[in-house]
């Protein structure tokens, strides 16, 4: 059936196509003055502007075919079926409501597109609509060959947005994932900015940002690339598991950034491929969590910001050695480096060094149930505090600690003699243990208000009176 002629139709009811083909071919005026529903068959434009611009289109099955023509509508909804064209353009003044179906026609306008409900929808046209594409449920496949299918920003708040071809989103736009999944599969995508506050970014493909990766919570297994930096902020946990090649600065300013491999500077890994310069890895209030097993090491130096930072060895077994040292930002400001284990029995070794920053006396805290070893010639003069697990002191060429040692839980153990600066003091309290083993240590003062000072044949010397209030001492004083 064809609606044609040069006089506009004026009926106000719904036009429904449920089978066969309805061709719209008015040479002057509109063929469909009301809303158009396609529930089967084909509705086809044979000229432009065949439907009133104040009307809406609903496609639930069948096909709406623009061919090479243009049409502007107040609203477009597709719950199934197909919207197709060769070069035809479909413009909506209200957001596109896409639930299920295939759209190969070109979608235009200053509005956005919303992918809702559990269905699968595919965009394969060279769309130019400039509003945000929001995926909140189901699956939206982006499948334009040789061009982009999204000209604006993409937000994934549920469901899946999936690349079926490379470069499906305009490179100057942004991606925000707050829930659900953005799946690159094996394809590449370059964007201005990438933010993840929840959900997943997956695939074996490469995601490049030209400004910054803002990671707050969620999981990223895809490869992150580019010269832009990555910032972990807020209190959430982000897990990176891809062989990332990004060379920008990685900053951890809040929450936990969890990686299964750290690797050396300049080598692609979970933390990227930046050199091992301290400026390229910044701890400033957050936690770098390592979950890899086996015997591994990294030469990455790092910057410890004024808010301090934590290194968490959180794997079931193995030994992780960090040979890199800490550089300090912010002059004359004290800060604390925390060595911990939130789970597992992975042993950590810090063979790099931590010093002071001008008049700021920095500190080190050992928490968690595992063992950390200090084997570098540390020069920080703040207190080293052990509250859980074990802190082993093993600098083969001098002292491990330049400041006082306080043990309120767990164990501090000498693996060589004279590991603490002789002018400093030891305080053991509560359930803490200081274990000399067979080694010697001279200090300016020793106080025990609880806990244990032990050793096999070790000798503890104090140049001031021993202050013994409570606890057990089996070492030689």
Q: Where are the domains of the chain?
A: 1-94, 107-213, 388-477
168 with 146: CB under 8 angstroms? Answer: no
When computed from its CA atoms, the radius of gyration of the chain, rounded to whole angstroms, is 32
Amino acid 325: pLDDT = 97
pLDDT tens, per residue, the chain with 477 residues: 999 999 999 999 999 999 999 999 999 999 999 999 999 999 999 999 999 999 999 999 999 999 999 999 999 999 999 999 999 999 999 999 999 999 999 999 999 999 999 999 999 999 999 999 999 999 999 999 999 999 999 999 999 999 999 999 999 999 999 999 999 999 999 999 999 999 999 999 999 999 999 999 999 999 999 999 999 999 999 999 999 999 999 999 999 999 999 999 999 999 999 999 999 999 999 999 999 999 999 999 999 999 999 999 999 899 999 999 999 998 899 999 999 999 999 999 999 999 999 999 999 999 999 999 999 999 999 999 999 999 999 999 999 999 999 999 999 999 999 999 999 999 999 999 999 999 999 999 999 999 999 999 999 999 999 999 999 999 999
pLDDT (0 to 100) of residue 360: 93
**Dist. CA 305–CA 68, nearest whole Å:** 59
Exposure b/e, 409-442, CB count within 10 A at least 16 = b: bbbbbbbbebbbbeebbbbbbebbbbbbeebbbe
State how far the Cα of 243 lies from the Cα of 399, in Å rounded to an integer.
38
pLDDT at 240: 99
d(CA 47, CA 24): 7
What CA–CA distance (Å, rounded) separates 418 from 465?
A: 19
User: What pLDDT was estimated at residue 330?
Assistant: 82
- Report CA dihedral (209, 211, 217, 219) to the nearest 10 degrees: 10
**The pairing of beta strand 223-225 with beta strand 206-215:** parallel
Query: Strand, coil or helix: what is 77?
Result: strand
Q: Residue 381 has what pLDDT?
A: 98
Alpha-carbon distance 265 to 105, whole Å?
47
Q: Which contacts of 259-262 are long-range, i.e. CB under 8 A and separated by 24 or more positions? A: 259/288, 259/289, 259/290, 259/291, 259/292, 260/290, 260/291, 260/292, 261/292, 261/296, 262/288, 262/290, 262/292, 262/296, 262/298, 262/300, 262/320, 262/322
Q: Are 58 and 81 in contact (CB under 8 A)?
A: no
* pLDDT for residue 266: 98
**Number of C-alpha atoms within 13 angstroms, CB side, residue 108?**
13
pTM of the model: 0.96
> Tell me, what's the pLDDT at 331?
82
Q: How many residues does the chain have?
A: 477
* CA distance linking residue 318 with residue 374, whole number of Å: 17
């Amino acid at each position: 059936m064809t609606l044609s002629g040069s006089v506009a139709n004026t009926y106000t009811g719904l036009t429904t196509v449920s089978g066969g083909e309805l061709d719209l071919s008015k040479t002057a005026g509109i063929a469909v003055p009301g809303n158009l529903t396609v529930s089967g068959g084909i509705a086809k434009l044979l000229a432009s502007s065949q439907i009133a611009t104040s009307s809406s289109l609903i496609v639930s099955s069948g096909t709406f075919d623009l061919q090479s023509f243009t049409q502007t509508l107040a609203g477009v909804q597709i719950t199934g079926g197909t919207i197709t064209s060769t070069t035809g353009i479909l413009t909506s003044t209200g957001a596109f409501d896409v639930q299920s179906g295939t759209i190969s026609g070109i979608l235009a306008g200053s509005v956005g597109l919303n992918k809702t409900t559990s269905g699968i929808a595919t965009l394969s046209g060279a769309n130019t609509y400039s509003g945000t594409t929001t995926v909140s449920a189901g699956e939206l496949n982006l499948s334009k060959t040789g061009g982009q299918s999204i000209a604006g920003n993409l937000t994934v708040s549920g469901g899946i947005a999936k690349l079926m071809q490379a470069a499906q989103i305009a490179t100057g736009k942004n991606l925000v994932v707050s829930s659900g999944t953005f799946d690159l599969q094996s394809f590449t995508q370059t964007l201005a900015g990438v933010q993840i506050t929840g959900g997943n970014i997956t695939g074996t493909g490469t995601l490049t940002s030209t400004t910054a990766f803002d990671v707050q919570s969620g999981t990223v297994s895809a490869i992150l690339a580019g010269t832009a930096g990555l910032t972990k902020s807020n209190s959430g946990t982000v897990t990176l598991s891809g062989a990332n090649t990004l060379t920008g600065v990685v900053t951890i300013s809040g929450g936990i950034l969890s990686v299964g491999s750290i690797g050396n500077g300049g080598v692609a890994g979970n933390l990227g491929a930046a050199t091992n310069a301290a400026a390229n890895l910044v701890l400033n209030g957050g936690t770098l969590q390592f979950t890899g097993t086996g015997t591994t090491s990294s030469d990455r130096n790092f910057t410890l910001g004024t808010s301090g930072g934590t290194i968490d060895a959180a794997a079931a077994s193995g030994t992780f050695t960090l040979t890199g040292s800490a550089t300090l930002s912010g002059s004359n400001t004290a800060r604390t480096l925390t060595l911990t284990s939130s789970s597992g029995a992975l042993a950590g070794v810090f063979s790099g060094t931590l010093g002071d920053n001008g008049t700021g006396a920095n500190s080190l805290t050992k928490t968690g149930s595992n063992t950390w070893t200090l084997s570098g010639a540390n020069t920080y003069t703040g207190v080293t505090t052990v509250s859980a697990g074990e802190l082993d002191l093993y600098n083969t060429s001098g002292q491990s600690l330049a400041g006082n040692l306080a043990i309120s839980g767990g164990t501090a153990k000498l693996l060589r003699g004279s590991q603490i600066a002789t002018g400093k003091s030891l305080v053991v309290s509560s359930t803490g243990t200081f274990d000399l083993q067979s080694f010697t240590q001279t200090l300016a003062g020793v106080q025990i208000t609880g806990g244990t000072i032990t050793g096999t044949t070790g000798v503890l010397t104090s140049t001031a009176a021993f202050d013994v209030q409570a606890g057990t001492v089996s070492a030689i004083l």
